Amino acid sequence: MLVPPLRDREDDIELLTDHFLDEFTGREKVRRTLTPAARELLRSHAWPGNIRELRNALESAVILSENPVIDAFDLPISSLQHGKLMSSNAEEWQPLPLKEVEEIHLLRTLKHVNGNKKKAAELLGIERSTLYARLRNAEKKPEQKPIADKDLLQ
């Protein structure tokens, strides 16, 4: 029997999301919930890793989020994989060197966790020493024009 991929089973995504949130609540007194934006992100994501990827994304969000309500930005789903978050106007897109994209991502992640380097390294899936090294390398760059937040994911 062939089971369709998770991306083709939106109703299952909802059910699995609620199941995993119940499971990860564990001994906590307050069950985590998702904002409508977070639920929409989960429904529209392609889920190449199927149920395992969904489970891991939710577990990471529950562990790393300090709020009882998880928003879309709390979910470790790359906006590059999520077409609806990307700009629909291809003319606005500008190619950037990968090193620059990495630096922007590092700095935005640090901003997201209010400068907590341990939490940033966990979110990025790298060692803290690697984060420090990459930040040092970013500081050694020659002066360049700053990129506005609105330009980052277009």
pLDDT in tens, 17-59: 999 998 887 766 788 899 999 999 998 888 888 899 999 999 8
C-alpha 42/C-alpha 63 separation (Å) is 17
Q: How many CB atoms lie within 10 A of CB 128?
A: 14
Domains and CATH numbers, the chain: 6-85 (1.10.8.60), 90-151 (1.10.10.60)
Residue 104's H or E segment, with its range, is helix 98-112
Helix (H, G, I), strand (E, B) or coil at 146: coil
Please identify every stretch of the chain with a pLDDT value under 50, giving residue numbers as ranges.
80-91, 149-154
C-alpha 142/C-alpha 90 separation (Å) is 29
Between the CA of residue 20 and those of 4, 13, 25, what are the distances in Å?
20, 10, 8
**pLDDT for res 93:** 60
Contact 82, 41 (CB under 8 A): yes
Task: Of 67, 73, 153, give the one whose Cα is nearest residue 112.
Answer: 73
**pLDDT for res 129:** 93
C-alpha 154/C-alpha 146 separation (Å) is 15
